[in-house]
Amino acid sequence: MSSDIDGAEFGASDVEVLAREPLYRGFFRMELLRYKHRKYASGWSSVVTRELLYRGQAVGALLYDPVTDRVGLVEQIRPGTLEAESGPWCLEVVAGIMESGETAEAVAWREIQEEAGLVPVSLEYICEYYPSPGGCDEHMHLYCGLASLAGVDGELHGLDSEEEDIRLLTFPVEEVFGALYSGRFNNAATLIALQWLQLNIQRLRAQGLPE
């Protein structure tokens, strides 16, 4: 049988969840799952035990100014990179968690204003993906926000109520592309968004900033 890139052989009905045990509930929550699933060779697996971190829906937005040909990224401390060689301050796309009833596009508009102090002219959809499906349910939606980045380099933003300390930085796009795999952009959302920008930059430059 040939492979089908449009869909997996199995679906949700081919998994039997036997138990869910709460482990932690705080900023995020975690459960211990016990489940069985159908196997490719036939039959069912034995009971699989896994911890699952629940983060839900998230949205990220890369900032790009086609007039000045600059990319906007935010820099902030991230506890997951405390042991990283480059240190715990990461360069990232603007991002936030989707609240109940919100659309992904609405979150992108909100987070660009909160984390970068900007109102984008327009949003371009990039893709959606699961950053770490082996142990986390996070579902990321990515956009590119077209906005004027003139005179905003180094501005500080973020919500005091969430202990955010965010610095907006802008860079010439060719400088960013030249350093894409240097290790400075060490998170998937930023890498994916910048790769998308490489593929689409001629079109974005040609259209400029919509009125």
Per-chain mean pLDDT for the chain: 94
Q: Does 151 lie in the same domain as 90?
A: yes
pLDDT score for 210: 79
pLDDT score for 2: 60
In a domain, 34, yes or no: yes
Q: Does 43 lie in the same domain as 66?
A: no
Q: Using alpha carbons only, how large is the chain's radius of gyration in Å?
A: 20
Domain of 20, in residue numbers = 12-54
In a domain, 132, yes or no: yes
In a domain, 7, yes or no: no
Q: Does 184 lie in the same domain as 118?
A: yes
In a domain, 100, yes or no: yes
Digit-coded pLDDT (tens) for 50-69: 999 999 999 999 999 999 99
Q: Does 130 lie in the same domain as 33?
A: no
Q: What CA–CA distance (Å, rounded) separates 64 from 48?
A: 44
Rounded to two decimals, what is the model's pTM? 0.91
pLDDT score for 143: 98
In a domain, 141, yes or no: yes
Q: Does 42 lie in the same domain as 131?
A: no
**CATH code for position 187:** 3.90.79.10
Q: Does 29 lie in the same domain as 132?
A: no
Residues in Cβ contact with 54 at an 8 Å cutoff, skipping those fewer than 6 apart:
28, 29, 30, 31, 136, 137
Q: Does 147 lie in the same domain as 174?
A: yes
Q: Does 35 lie in the same domain as 116?
A: no
Using alpha carbons, list the distances in angstroms from residue 185 to 1, 69, 189: 40, 19, 9
In a domain, 188, yes or no: yes
pLDDT score for 86: 84
Q: Catalytic residue numbers?
A: 162
Q: How many domains does the chain have?
A: 2
Digit-coded pLDDT (tens) for 26-39: 989 999 999 999 99
Pick out the chain residues at pLDDT < 70. 1-2
